[in-house]
């Protein structure tokens, strides 16, 4: 049973108390209290982190990238894979010395990992340097929790499982000046057997379309050029996802729309038609298949077959032959045979993905898959993963060739990996494009003529008029 947190004071009263505390801190120390916040994992976590930063900014915190200068350290965690949890525990251990040197330092852990009771219990018993632990349902109570920790010098743990109303008035301090994440829904109803997300994020709750549309319109007016709509399964958006896309597409301005993620069991021809017929929606769909074996898909509770999945691929490619697909794949699911893994290799050859995001199966305590018999060694799973990546590398090198000689539009997002003087960005199909150009183009749309296809990116030359 999760612990029930009962705040000593209401959130608004706590906020006013914190503002007064921050003003006194600034007066006494000559600078604002500093917060270090790091978000692990998916884009949803990044968006949550931006909302937390907005709340801390309202108190009066400034932000630092160096934990040595922080009065508040907050890790916004991910629970999807074991290695993400291991990194968090490693960092918490490293913070012990900081806490010994600064008794007023507050260390907090929040997010998906913190929602799990066994994790909270482990922190409570073994990591005494941590003051505040709260899960995904408790963001709205941040002010009251933080004030209680500061004013009473007590440790506080909040694993509430009560879904509160979505707070549309929450300030979001965005990390990027030209790309933005906009959640349209929270939670998941799918209960794939390997996935912890429905247990730590709760059931699906959709934002009202007028709130989403108002946020997107505001971002466009502020000059944001790429907006990514977020949901564990955007196709389950309660008010109709294709219609939401069409309403956004009607808006005026120079911008792109992307979205993550789309569950194959709910992907429709209407969705494909909406993407292809639009002006602003990127001609790319991330459609996580997870495995190429029907038996494995059933064991995963994915609720589609390979052929059903291929119907959507074939429909899209029938309308637009070079339509871009990416996917997620799990290697070494409990009970998977090598022959079934080879079916996954055959699938990626059939689809011709532009990219795959593949991972060795990670056991998540509390999920049905964690109780399944797993006779495949970690070494064997690693070898399978390498096989899959080598196969995809060849597919990518060949499939990217369709762009050579063509001109694509790229949103430039920074300096490139190719070398000094190179920039990088992504085209409409979400493929990395690198080209030599001046840094003044960062944050802008540019035209690039593609001259070379590699197995990880396209190389081109900027077209200036």
Task: Mark the binding-site residues, compressed into ranges.
Answer: 42, 78, 112, 188, 192, 195
With the C-alpha atoms ordered 6, 8, 11, 15, is the resulting torsion angle positive or negative?
negative
**CA-closest candidate to residue 166, choices 47, 267, 263:** 47
Query: Taking the mean position of all CA atoms in its chain, how far away is CA 443?
Result: 21
- Residue 128 has phi, psi (to 5 degrees) of -65, -15
The helix (run of H) or strand (run of E) holding residue 195 is: none
**Alpha carbons 369 and 407: distance in angstroms, whole number:** 46
- What are the beta bridge partners of residue 133? 109, 157
**Alpha carbons 60 and 114: distance in angstroms, whole number:** 25
Quick check: 405 and 459 in contact, CB under 8 A?
no
With the C-alpha atoms ordered 117, 123, 124, 125, is the resulting torsion angle positive or negative?
positive
In the block, tokens 């049973």 appear at 1
Output DSSP code: residue 250. Answer: T
What is the rounded radius of gyration, in angstroms, for the C-alpha atoms of the chain? 23
Binding residues for [4Fe-4S] cluster: 42, 78, 112, 188, 192, 195
In the block, tokens 């900027």 appear at 462
- CB neighbour class for 167 (10 Å; exposed up to 12, middle 13-18, buried from 19): exposed
With the C-alpha atoms ordered 92, 94, 96, 99, is the resulting torsion angle positive or negative?
negative
**Alpha carbons 424 and 428: distance in angstroms, whole number:** 14
Sequence-distant (6+) residues with CB within 8 A of 292 are: 306, 340, 343, 344, 345, 346, 347, 348
- Residue 279 has phi, psi (to 5 degrees) of -95, -35
In the block, tokens 């602003």 appear at 280
Query: Taking the mean position of all CA atoms in its chain, how far away is CA 424?
Result: 21
> Rounded to 5 degrees, what angle do the CA atoms 284, 288, 290 make?
150
The pairing of strands 156-158 and 205-206 is unpaired
**Alpha carbons 203 and 445: distance in angstroms, whole number:** 38
**Alpha carbons 280 and 265: distance in angstroms, whole number:** 25
**Alpha carbons 271 and 315: distance in angstroms, whole number:** 11
**CA-closest candidate to residue 148, choices 337, 9, 40:** 9
């Amino acid at each position: 049973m999760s612990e029930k947190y009962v705040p000593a004071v209401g959130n608004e009263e706590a906020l006013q108390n914190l503002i007064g505390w921050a003003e006194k801190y600034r007066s006494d120390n000559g600078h604002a209290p500093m917060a270090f916040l790091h978000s692990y994992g998916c884009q949803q976590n990044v968006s949550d982190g931006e909302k937390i930063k907005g709340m801390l900014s309202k108190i009066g915190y400034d932000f630092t990238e160096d934990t040595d200068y922080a009065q508040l350290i907050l890790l916004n965690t991910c629970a999807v894979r074991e290695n993400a949890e291991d990194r968090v525990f490693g960092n918490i251990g490293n913070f012990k010395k900081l806490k010994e040197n600064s008794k007023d330092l507050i260390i907090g852990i929040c997010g998906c990992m913190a929602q799990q009771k066994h994790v909270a219990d482990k922190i409570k018993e073994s990591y005494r340097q941590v003051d505040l632990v709260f899960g995904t349902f408790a963001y709205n109570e941040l002010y009251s929790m933080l004030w209680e920790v500061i004013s009473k010098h007590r440790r506080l743990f909040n694993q509430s499982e009560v879904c509160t109303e979505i707070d549309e008035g929450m300030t979001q301090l965005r990390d990027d000046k030209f790309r933005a994440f906009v959640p349209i829904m929270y939670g998941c109803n799918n209960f794939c057997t390997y996935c912890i997300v429905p247990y730590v994020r709760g059931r699906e709750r959709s934002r009202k379309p007028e709130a989403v549309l108002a946020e997107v319109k505001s971002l466009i007016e502020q000059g944001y050029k790429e907006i990514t709509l977020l949901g564990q399964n955007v196709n389950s958006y309660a008010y109709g996802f294709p219609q939401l896309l069409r309403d956004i597409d009607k808006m005026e301005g120079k911008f792109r729309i992307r979205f993550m993620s789309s569950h194959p069991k709910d992907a429709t021809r209407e969705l494909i038609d909406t993407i292809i017929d639009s002006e602003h929606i990127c001609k790319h769909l991330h459609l996580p298949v997870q495995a190429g074996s029907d038996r494995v898909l059933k064991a995963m509770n994915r609720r589609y077959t390979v052929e059903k999945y291929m119907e959507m691929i074939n429909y899209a490619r029938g309308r637009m032959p070079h339509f871009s697909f990416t996917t997620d794949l799990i290697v070494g699911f409990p009970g998977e045979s090598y022959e079934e893994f080879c079916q996954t290799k055959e699938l990626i050859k059939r689809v011709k993905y532009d990219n795959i995001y593949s991972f060795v199966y990670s056991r998540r305590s509390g999920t049905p898959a964690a109780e399944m018999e797993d006779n495949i060694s970690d070494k064997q799973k690693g070898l399978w993963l390498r096989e899959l990546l080598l196969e995809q590398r060849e597919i990518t090198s060949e499939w990217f060739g369709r762009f050579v000689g063509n001109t694509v539009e790229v949103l430039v997002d920074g300096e490139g990996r190719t070398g000094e003087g190179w920039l990088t960005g992504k085209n409409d199909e979400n493929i990395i494009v690198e080209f030599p150009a001046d840094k003044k183009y960062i944050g802008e749309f540019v035209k690039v003529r593609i001259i070379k296809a590699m197995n990880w990116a396209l190389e081109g030359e900027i077209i200036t008029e």
